[in-house]
Amino acid sequence: MSAVLPKHIPVVREASPGLWALAWRRLRADRVGMVSLAVVVAFLAMMLASYAGLIAKDWNKERGVSYANPAFLAGAENLEAKEVTNKDFGTQAKPVDLSDIDPLAPRYKEWEERAAKIAVTEVKRAETLPFGGDKWGRDVLEKAIKGSEVSIFVGLTAALFATIIGTVLGALAGYWGGRVNDFLEWFYNIFTSIPYILLILAFAAVFKKGLDTIIVILALTGWTGIYRLVRAEYIKHCGREYVKAAQAIGASHFSRMFVHILPNASHVILVQLSQHVVQFIKAEVILSFLGLGVPVDMVSWGTMLAEAQNELVIGKWWQLVAAGASMAFLVTAFSMLTDSLRDALDPKLK
Amino acid sequence: MHLAVTLLAVAFLAAPAAQASAAVEKKVLRMAFRTAEAGFDPQRIDDRYSVGVCENLFEPLLTYDYLARPVRLVPLVAEAIPEPQEGGTRYTLRIRPGILFADDPVFKGAKRELVAADVEYAIKRFRDPKNRSPYGWIFEHKLVGLDELADAAAKSGRFDYEAKIAGLEVRDRYIISFKLVEPDYNFLYLLAMPNVVPVAREVIEAYGADTHAHPVGTGPYVLKEWVRRSKIVLEKNPNHRGYEIDARWADPADEWDRRALDSLRGKRLPLIDRVEIYPIEDEQPRFLAFLNKEHDLLDETPFSFIHQVLPNGRLSPGLQALGVSAYREEQPEFTYDVFNMNDKVEGRENPVGGYTPERVALRRAMILGHDRDREIGVLRKGQAIPAQSPVPPGVVGYDPAFRASAQDYDPPRAKALLDTFGYVDRDGDGWREQPDGRPLMIEYKYNAGSQESRQLAELWSKSMADVGIRLEAVAVQFVDLLKDKKVGKFVVAGSAWIADYPDAQNFLQLLYGPNSGTSNEAHFRLDAYDRLYLRSASLPDGPERNAVYRELNRLLLAWAPWRLGVHRIFNHLQYPWVKGYKKHPILYTNFKYLDLDVAARAAASR
Amino acid sequence: MAAYVIRRLWQMIPTLAGVILLIFFLFNWVGGDPAQVLAGKISNPEQIANIRKQLGVDQPYWYQLWVFVQQVFTFDFGRSWSTNEEVSKILLTRVGPTLTIMVPVLVIETMLAVAFAIMVAYVRGSLTDRTIMVICTTAMSISFLVYIIFAQWLFGFKLGWFPVQGWSESFSRNLLTYAPLPVMLAIFVGLAPQLRLYRSFFLEEINQDYVRTARAKGLPEKQVMMKHVLRNALIPILTNIGIYLPGLFVGSFLLEVFFSIPGLGREIVTAVNRSDFPVIKAVTVYLAMLTMFINLLVDVMYKLVDPRVSFK
Amino acid sequence: MTTSEHLLQVQDLRVSFRVDKHNTFEAVKGISFDVPKNRTIALVGESGSGKSVSAMAILGLLPDNARIPAASRVLYGGEDLLKAAPQRLQAIRGKDISVIFQEPMTSLNPVFPVGEQIGETLRLHMGMSAKQAATRAVDLLAEVGIPNPALRVRSFPHELSGGQQQRVMIAMAIACEPKLLIADEPTTALDVTIQKQILELIAGLQEKHHMSVLFITHDLGVVGEIANHVVVMQNGVVQEQATVREIFESPQHPYTKALLECRPRLDRRPKRLPVIDDFLKGTGAPRMEEQPRGLKEGDAVILEVKNLGKTFFLKEGLFGKRAVPAVKDVSFKLAKGKTLGLVGESGSGKTTVGLTLMRLHDATSGEVLFEGKNLLALSDREMMAYRRRIQIIFQNPYASLNPRFTIGNVLTEPMKIHGIGANAEERVEMAFQLLKRVGLPEASYYKYPHEFSGGQRQRIAIARCLTMKPDVLICDESVSALDVSVQAQVLNLLQDLQEEFHLSYIFISHDLAVVKYISDQVMVMNQGEIVEIANSDEIYLDPKQEYTRKLLSSIPKGWDAARAA
């Protein structure tokens, strides 16, 4: 049997579905799953569109009066819109003259001339906005869209990192066992013996504030569950005969860990990933409430809810509803998709 | 099985099953604090709320009259207001004999009379390094011999309370005389501060580290119960001699004064038997607790709910029907943003620091570009007045004729100023660069834990974007913010100051050069300012000193180490069964002057 | 059994050491400087240095770590840096209110979740099952924050069924007056995920062979579910409660903040915000120890529900 | 037999399962058979024949997605059980008709003592008090032959051995003196010696209690020992039903014939086993010459194992570890081109020997000499060169192939690792060749393991080994999980390959017939130690050791006219 043999390349290549293809087929048959998937994809598309600046680009523009009414409540009285600035306070007095001590005095003239040329444009603020306005008169609908960008981004990246940490550590512990396992279990025990919320707070207290920090905190505290499952998965698969067979044919440790076992544990990892996205989107809200979150020139569902905290009492429910409902909608869809994924990906159900 | 687990958990449960004593016909006042207290050792605290509680537990030598406006010093445990002697460097007071401390096991059943030595002891405590007194600074460089004593204690680790110093002279059982290092005509204000109060040395020493929980004073109330950060209960001090309302300084034209006098005149104060205070930091529950009549008072109505309470500036019909009244108070405080005046911040160039015309221009332009109107209109719901100088109305040295147009919101002038000094957008990215072409990026630090701080930061960010300046708001933990401001690790940051005593000096010292790194967070150092400040400190109240104050304020405006914010207006709400209410600008609480119509409350709650 | 318990206790030592290291690393290395908070609104560098000295934060790290370790083993974390209260006293007084809320939550929630779960597991696949699952998923998707804000406004204020917030010194009054609304909220939020989880436990058991045996014996469905399936499903449920128990002591700080409950959760948030290291360290170390003991307790209790477990 | 003598009549039973919204799978396609009174009737078939489904349908114990059309009937005393109300069925289950299952371990509730589980039936159907039931449970345990029954009633299932668990199941089943006992593969999971005891127990109880037994099994050998009447099923239909004598002596249906002939027999060793196709095509069993087996003097030794030991450690007590020796001091030689059979019951250490000698486990002691080199002493790198030369085929065809790999990947991976084949094309070419060689279509190259049956997967596993051109092949229970018809094909393939490539086999199995058939030499293991090694014919004809004799006597003998008479 050597190279002299005529080249004999494949006969008919029948379409042969792999497990992923089969999983996709099963998912396709699941109506709830498909609807959820559509919703999730729609949200992702919305997020990308907003990121690309196609929609909600001007979310930060103050289009309306403070707490502008939603369009369907056009007539309602809006006390908040009347901005009392007390601007006239002290105007009876003559402005104090600084020219004798002012380091800028030499250029007063130039300054005044330039100032005179700059036109003052008065913006007309709308009384109503499609779904109402926030404190600054920004459209809450646009805010909710723009907020999805940060919330989903935080959820996705943090979940991705947590999954990577959990998967790598879990794979190491489950595959190698022994000392490696002992060490990683020790590490795991440390993280799990501190109640989760305390752990988050402890991390949050010491890190600088910002979007990246939220992601880091969530990833650093959220990997434990994934680690545990992946480890169990690896222990299970290490005992499986196909892995023994791979060892028997001389496949390297790396190959066994990542080429052989990883794809077979991937359904577990994928389901965990999607579960953690949901969990982290919810966690972002809490962290934002504690002020540990998103920078001021960005908006997330969490910051919206934190703002909306006092708005219900003054009758301005729309920001609470806009952020709460968008989040609930996405998270519900995502959770249902996770359930469907779990069913579809589970090779047992074949 | 799970049942067993829970049973076990129930067994763990520490159930304080003590039944509340039935408060039959007792006058119990309930209210909330918006911030948690720290403790009640008067020399070891500085927050308004803890100090506010101490106002009721202890008595300073002097105090402020309840009704007089502008505020007026009156003697409390001292017999009279002393006159300055020796050119404003000596003040001698005599304590009224027969004033008793509240009972405490430390006294072993004996009645303990207040004496001059207790005052001496308390003031020394401010400088004992062990106490870490946050108000130690008020007696720094103040009393002859005290600084030396403190320095010695810092070295030896033990404060020598026995040592006699010339600055604190106990002449006999009741007479104490203070000798100042240099003239200070505001010194008596210190003696009226609610934490400059005599304490009994044996009590302090007996309780050691626990003095916060065992405040024993001569005040009209005693601390009955204290669940930290959640409940403070005061009850009448049976040893207290009682007060009477002083009608002399009341303004007969003032509705509040009239009502207070009507309900309090001729009665032996205090009238409230028990005060329950609940620190509630979140606005919604604090507000709703008042609306639900769970509380009798609402101190400082949160700005968010102002339009619910005072739509169009008048009390809402709903609250009116309940008989609620709103007390509008311009507090002697102001908010401001600090520019770091140092050239470098953490080793990097500080774009807003320095005294060159460009940097002055940048700061001034930022001030002009900051939309203070919206700060007041949107964030403060109109419950603030734009500050023209750091000195709030109602404080001695306040000048109503001082009008600072340099602090007004004026974007065209801001842009023009930036253009004039070369802060223009050179690379076309929409943001202005520095005059030498380097990028301009300003960092604003704010308190991560406060929604209000976040909104102020948001406003900064928006306002600066409008004039083309890129500003990045950075959230930091409250603790870190304090530290960063002190050591100059910031570019721009927000601050606020409330009067310790009603004199402009208390505000203007914040820019005094030698105070850099302590109260002078801007690290502002201007010789002209420092010279004028020292001069003002040695002058008694009068036109001459006011002229100096005016000059100080002008320098502040010209060099712009601060953006002046606002003087906030607070609205305090009371149900009609709370009688005798009036808010004092310096003193935080007024329980001892209140009365409660228990029957009316019972009727309303039904 | 005794050997097992001793071995487990022995194994806690490295974990505890790890917790100590982690906490120490976080707070002494990465964390902020508490001296500034304590210094008040005006203070000069000398005063700060003085405070740092008193707190011991000027000592070398190894020394501070040593002090920390000593504190752990003497159970004496000294006093809170911000309030000067004894840390142990803080913890003791705060744990009561937290448990007053969380114990009813745990009990009621577990009972409801088990009852509902066994019900929907029994009718698995039916419309009822699917409807309940969808409701659960949706209920889980709304932020806790929204629930609290809304419920406090609606039930506390608009309808006035419960006090908006508050706490008293009377246990019965707390339990009957102040606790119901937060407890209800916590149950409402916690029920959905528990229900889903327990349902999956029941479904897992329903597919086991022994259930077929029980049916083959002629047992009525009710007895199959309530005796055979329930008893076996209790094992994972117990594990789940074990995981949940340590959290009981932290409580829900959101509830505690909004309803002014002077519990441990709120205390922790405050301590973290004020960099009150003694409190945080104590809470963390004690809770970590407690967690380990609870885990041990749960494992020992396994023996009672699962005869297959042996203490090797 | 008249109708009245029929205890149970199954008429046109059809069962289908809903797979998803659009697809159903018909598992039973209209079968009919009768269960006479006081008789044992066996339902025989390979996996997927629908035998268990039919039995479960009788008592309504099918999963939720099963559907039975209205036309199907299961008559019990004139009553159609398929249409009975749930309460009625509950009354019948466990009382009139009871069941024992294949896996006694999982079929008993792990959290209740066995006495409680038996007593539950008694209380339910016999109206006994708890006390009465407990007493009766002890009697029942005694009856099914559990020693020390008074103590054992308080045991939990996991505290009992597999055989005892099955006895408990039987005790539970006969507790209410049922008229019919359905035994669903009750001995398949058990070792052969235990199997014998259980079969004897069931037979004894059947006689004693005058009940009928519906015995479901895949093993005709067992059927011969226990049944009076046999129903042969294949793919959901009944192919043949007759008395046991007729089935064994004059099978009518080719499938029945195939089942009887495919299984290796102790008394014959044809070069090639007949396979099912031989009968279905009507060609009948090919007459084949006998294959000579046995070791001859001077056969070259390829592998020598000396004093191999393997000990596992379990954590115990405070810091203690308990040593559990799995293999103790095992020595043997493997001759080139020959087969060494390794038999033993579960726990005998036979699989551990296989895994240890190819370093899939680390040995505790001993040497494995391959071409004079001690494999156990080589470094990983040095071992690499020998790795490919000793290969293994595992028991479970469903677990031994990576489900995410195409067959192409499965086959080319080892070649890549060992640098076999000059380039990718050549490897692909070789893969095709091997697929053909093991009798699979070339298109298999692109498929995934889940698209293949168990037998096909085992062929793929063999092909994978062959890619490395090994010298020694360890077959670890490689045919045990396969149906007899498939088993024959795989055994034939293994024999052919041995001849073609001069492979040496270590053939590990619990099935004595298969080992006898394929081995030159047989090594019997018990509790980690070698009991006996000898040429295969010798060992079967003349076992030297008591344990070997016991094993051999437990093999189901099939139909024995003498016994029937």
Asked if the C-beta of A205 comes within 8 angstroms of chain B's C-beta atoms, the answer is yes
Q: Is there a single domain that holds both residue A153 and residue A259?
A: yes
Structural domain contains residue A44: yes
Residues in chain B within 8 Å Cβ distance of A312: 284
Structural domain contains residue D356: yes
Q: Which B residues, 397 through 456, put their C-beta within 8 Å of a C-beta on chain C?
A: 449
The residue ranges of chain B whose pLDDT is under 50 are 1-23
Contact of chains A and D by CB distance (3 or more pairs under 8 angstroms): yes
- The DSSP H or E segment spanning D178 is none
In whole angstroms, give the CA distance from residue A244 to residue A240.
7
Q: At what angle do helices D484-501 and D254-262 cross, to 10 degrees?
A: 50
- Distance from the A275 Cα atom to the nearest Cα atom in chain C, whole angstroms: 12
Q: Is A82 helix (H, G, I), strand (E, B) or coil?
A: coil
- Distance from the A18 Cα atom to the nearest Cα atom in chain D, whole angstroms: 6
- Give me the residue from C33, C41, C153 closest to B483, CB to CB: C33
Rounded average pLDDT over D119-128: 90
Contact B291 C93 (CB under 8 A): no
Structural domain contains residue A11: no
Please name the residue of chain A whose CA is at the shortest distance from the CA of residue C286. A194
**C159 pLDDT exceeds 90?**
no
Asked if the C-beta of D464 comes within 8 angstroms of chain A's C-beta atoms, the answer is yes
Please name the residue of chain C whose CA is at the shortest distance from the CA of residue D55. C216
Please name the residue of chain A whose CA is at the shortest distance from the CA of residue D408. A10
Residue C134: which region, alpha, beta or left (left: phi > 0; alpha: psi -120 to 50)?
A: alpha
Q: Is there a single domain that holds both residue A121 and residue A160?
A: no
Q: Is there a single domain that holds both residue B264 and residue B398?
A: no
Rounded average pLDDT over C243-267: 82
Query: Using DSSP, how many helices (H) and how many strands (E) does chain B show?
Result: 19, 22
Q: Is there a single domain that holds both residue A193 and residue A272?
A: yes
Residues 6+ apart with CB under 8 A from D15: D26, D27, D28, D50, D53, D54, D57, D62, D66, D67, D68, D72
Structural domain contains residue D206: no
Confidence band of D159 (pLDDT split at 50, 70, 90): confident
Nearest to C231 by CA among A192, D433, B342, D109: D109
Structural domain contains residue B236: yes
Please name the residue of chain A whose CA is at the shortest distance from the CA of residue D457. A242
Given a contact cutoff of 8 angstroms between Cβ atoms, the answer to whether A193 and A130 are in contact is: no
Structural domain contains residue D196: no
In whole angstroms, give the CA distance from residue B338 to residue B359.
14
What ipTM does this complex have?
A: 0.81
Q: Is there a single domain that holds both residue A218 and residue A287?
A: yes
Please name the residue of chain C whose CA is at the shortest distance from the CA of residue B230. C262
Residues in chain D within 8 Å Cβ distance of A248: 358, 360, 387, 391-392
In whole angstroms, give the CA distance from residue A337 to residue C33.
46
- Distance from the D158 Cα atom to the nearest Cα atom in chain C, whole angstroms: 6
Asked if the C-beta of A60 comes within 8 angstroms of chain B's C-beta atoms, the answer is yes
In whole angstroms, give the CA distance from residue B485 to residue B561.
13
In whole angstroms, give the CA distance from residue D298 to residue D320.
49
Confidence band of C27 (pLDDT split at 50, 70, 90): confident
Q: What is the pLDDT of residue A67?
A: 87
Partner residues linked to D43 by β-bridges? D216, D231
Asked if the C-beta of B1 comes within 8 angstroms of chain A's C-beta atoms, the answer is no
Q: What single DSSP character describes residue C77? A: -
Q: Which B residues, 482 through 521, put their C-beta within 8 Å of a C-beta on chain C?
A: 482-483, 486, 515, 517-519
Pairing of strands D339-343, D504-509: parallel
Residue A4: which region, alpha, beta or left (left: phi > 0; alpha: psi -120 to 50)?
A: alpha
Structural domain contains residue A103: yes
Number of separate domains in chain D: 2
In whole angstroms, give the CA distance from residue B126 to residue B153.
12
We report the CATH number of the domain holding residue B457 as 3.10.105.10
Q: What is the pLDDT of residue D318?
A: 55
Q: Is there a single domain that holds both residue A169 and residue A318?
A: yes
Question: What is the 3 state secondary structure string of A13-54?
Answer: CCCCCCHHHHHHHHHHHCHHHHHHHHHHHHHHHHHHHHHCCC
Confidence band of C92 (pLDDT split at 50, 70, 90): confident
In whole angstroms, give the CA distance from residue B459 to residue B451.
12
Residues 6+ apart with CB under 8 A from B26: B273, B274, B598
Q: Is there a single domain that holds both residue B386 and residue B277?
A: no
Given a contact cutoff of 8 angstroms between Cβ atoms, the answer to whether D261 and D255 are in contact is: no
Q: Which phi and psi (to 5°) does residue D79 adopt?
A: -100, 135
Structural domain contains residue A178: yes
Mutate to test the interface with A, among C25, C82, C146 (most CBs of A within 10 A): C146
Given a contact cutoff of 8 angstroms between Cβ atoms, the answer to whether D527 and D346 are in contact is: no
Contact B386 A89 (CB under 8 A): yes
The two tokens of residue D187 are: 């001995």
Asked if the C-beta of B495 comes within 8 angstroms of chain A's C-beta atoms, the answer is no
Q: Is there a single domain that holds both residue B585 and residue B551?
A: no
Q: Is there a single domain that holds both residue B83 and residue B112?
A: yes
In whole angstroms, give the CA distance from residue A285 to residue C125.
34
Given a contact cutoff of 8 angstroms between Cβ atoms, the answer to whether D357 and D308 are in contact is: yes
CB pairs under 8 A between A and C: 123
Q: Is there a single domain that holds both residue A45 and residue A146?
A: yes
Q: What is the pLDDT of residue C189?
A: 84
Partner residues linked to D270 by β-bridges? D290
Residues in chain D within 8 Å Cβ distance of A8: 429, 432
Q: How far is CA A9 from CA A18, B293, D411, D442, in A?
A: 21, 88, 16, 10
Residue with structure tokens 């723009």? A146
Q: Is B111 helix (H, G, I), strand (E, B) or coil?
A: coil
Rounded average pLDDT over D38-51: 89
Mutate to test the interface with B, among A82, A84, A305 (most CBs of B within 10 A): A84
Number of separate domains in chain B: 2
| Digit-coded pLDDT (tens) for B489-508 | 899 999 989 888 889 999 99
The residue ranges of chain A whose pLDDT is under 70 are 1-16, 90-91, 205, 347-350
Chains with ≥3 CB–CB distances under 8 Å to A: B, C, D
Contact A242 D406 (CB under 8 A): no
Q: Which C residues, 98 through 157, put their C-beta within 8 Å of a C-beta on chain D?
A: 124-125
Q: Is there a single domain that holds both residue B548 and residue B586?
A: no
In chain D, what's the furthest Cα-to-Cα distance?
79
| Digit-coded pLDDT (tens) for D247-301 | 888 888 888 888 888 888 777 788 888 887 787 777 666 667 777 787 777 788 8
Residue B77 belongs to domain spanning: 26-289+579-596
Contact A5 D429 (CB under 8 A): yes
Q: Is there a single domain that holds both residue A38 and residue A89?
A: no
Nearest to A77 by CA among A86, A67, A90, A87: A67
Q: What is the pLDDT of residue C34?
A: 61
Q: Is there a single domain that holds both residue B426 and residue B507?
A: yes
Cα A206 from chain centre:
22
CB pairs under 8 A between A and B: 181
Q: Is there a single domain that holds both residue A286 and residue A159?
A: yes
Q: Is there a single domain that holds both residue B400 and residue B527?
A: yes
CB atoms within 10 A of CB C60: 8
Rounded average pLDDT over D66-73: 90
Contact C145 A327 (CB under 8 A): no
- Give me the residue from D94, D111, D113 closest to C217, CB to CB: D94
In whole angstroms, give the CA distance from residue B279 to residue B290.
13
Q: What single DSSP character describes residue C172? A: H
Structural domain contains residue A49: yes
Q: At what angle do helices A196-206 and C230-250 cross, to 10 degrees?
A: 30
Output D117 or D64, whichever has higher pLDDT: D117
Burial of A329 (0-12, 13-18, 19+ CB in 10 A): middle
Asked if the C-beta of D430 comes within 8 angstroms of chain A's C-beta atoms, the answer is yes
Structural domain contains residue B171: yes
We report the CATH number of the domain holding residue D486 as 3.40.50.300
Q: Is there a single domain that holds both residue B186 and residue B226?
A: yes
- Distance from the D400 Cα atom to the nearest Cα atom in chain A, whole angstroms: 4
Residue A279: which region, alpha, beta or left (left: phi > 0; alpha: psi -120 to 50)?
A: alpha
Q: Is D304 helix (H, G, I), strand (E, B) or coil?
A: strand
Q: Is there a single domain that holds both residue A197 and residue A86?
A: no
Contact of chains B and D by CB distance (3 or more pairs under 8 angstroms): no
Q: How far is CA B374 from CA B379, B462, B497, D463, in A?
A: 7, 11, 21, 79
User: At which of D146, D162, D177 does a domain end?
Assistant: D177
Q: Is A285 helix (H, G, I), strand (E, B) or coil?
A: helix
Given a contact cutoff of 8 angstroms between Cβ atoms, the answer to whether B407 and B344 are in contact is: no
Number of separate domains in chain A: 2
Pairing of strands A126-129, B297-298: unpaired
Q: Is there a single domain that holds both residue A143 and residue A233?
A: yes
Contact of chains C and A by CB distance (3 or more pairs under 8 angstroms): yes
Confidence band of D1 (pLDDT split at 50, 70, 90): very low
User: At which of D177, D208, D229 does a domain end?
Assistant: D177
Residues in chain A within 8 Å Cβ distance of D440: none
Please name the residue of chain B whose CA is at the shortest distance from the CA of residue C231. B1
Residue D147 belongs to domain spanning: 110-177
Contact C265 A313 (CB under 8 A): no
Structural domain contains residue B605: no
Nearest to B488 by CA among B353, B336, B367: B353
Structural domain contains residue D57: no
**C36 pLDDT exceeds 70?**
no
Structural domain contains residue A133: no
Contact of chains C and B by CB distance (3 or more pairs under 8 angstroms): yes
The two tokens of residue D427 are: 């490897």
- Give me the residue from D395, D402, D461 closest to A260, CB to CB: D402
Q: Is there a single domain that holds both residue B583 and residue B562?
A: no
- The DSSP H or E segment spanning D214 is strand D212-217
Structural domain contains residue B315: no
Contact C171 B16 (CB under 8 A): yes
User: At which of D159, D177, D195 does a domain end?
Assistant: D177
Nearest to D363 by CA among D421, D306, D319, D407: D306
- Distance from the C272 Cα atom to the nearest Cα atom in chain B, whole angstroms: 9
Q: What is the pLDDT of residue A202?
A: 76
Alpha-carbon dihedral of residues A206, A207, A210, A214, nearest 10 degrees?
-90
- Give me the residue from D86, D91, D98 closest to C216, CB to CB: D98
Structural domain contains residue B295: no
Nearest to C170 by CA among D207, D474, B227: B227
Contact A297 B402 (CB under 8 A): no
- Give me the residue from A204, A286, A329 closest to C145, CB to CB: A286
Residue with structure tokens 């024995």? D560
Residue A158 belongs to domain spanning: 20-56+138-349
Chain A residues whose C-beta sits inside 8 Å of any chain C C-beta:
186-187, 189-198, 201-207, 278, 282, 285-286, 289-290, 301, 305-306, 308-309, 312-313, 320, 324, 327-332, 335-336, 339
Q: Is there a single domain that holds both residue B423 and residue B535?
A: yes
Structural domain contains residue B212: yes
Q: What is the pLDDT of residue D4?
A: 53
Structural domain contains residue D257: no
Contact A16 D461 (CB under 8 A): no
- Distance from the C260 Cα atom to the nearest Cα atom in chain B, whole angstroms: 6
Asked if the C-beta of B80 comes within 8 angstroms of chain C's C-beta atoms, the answer is no
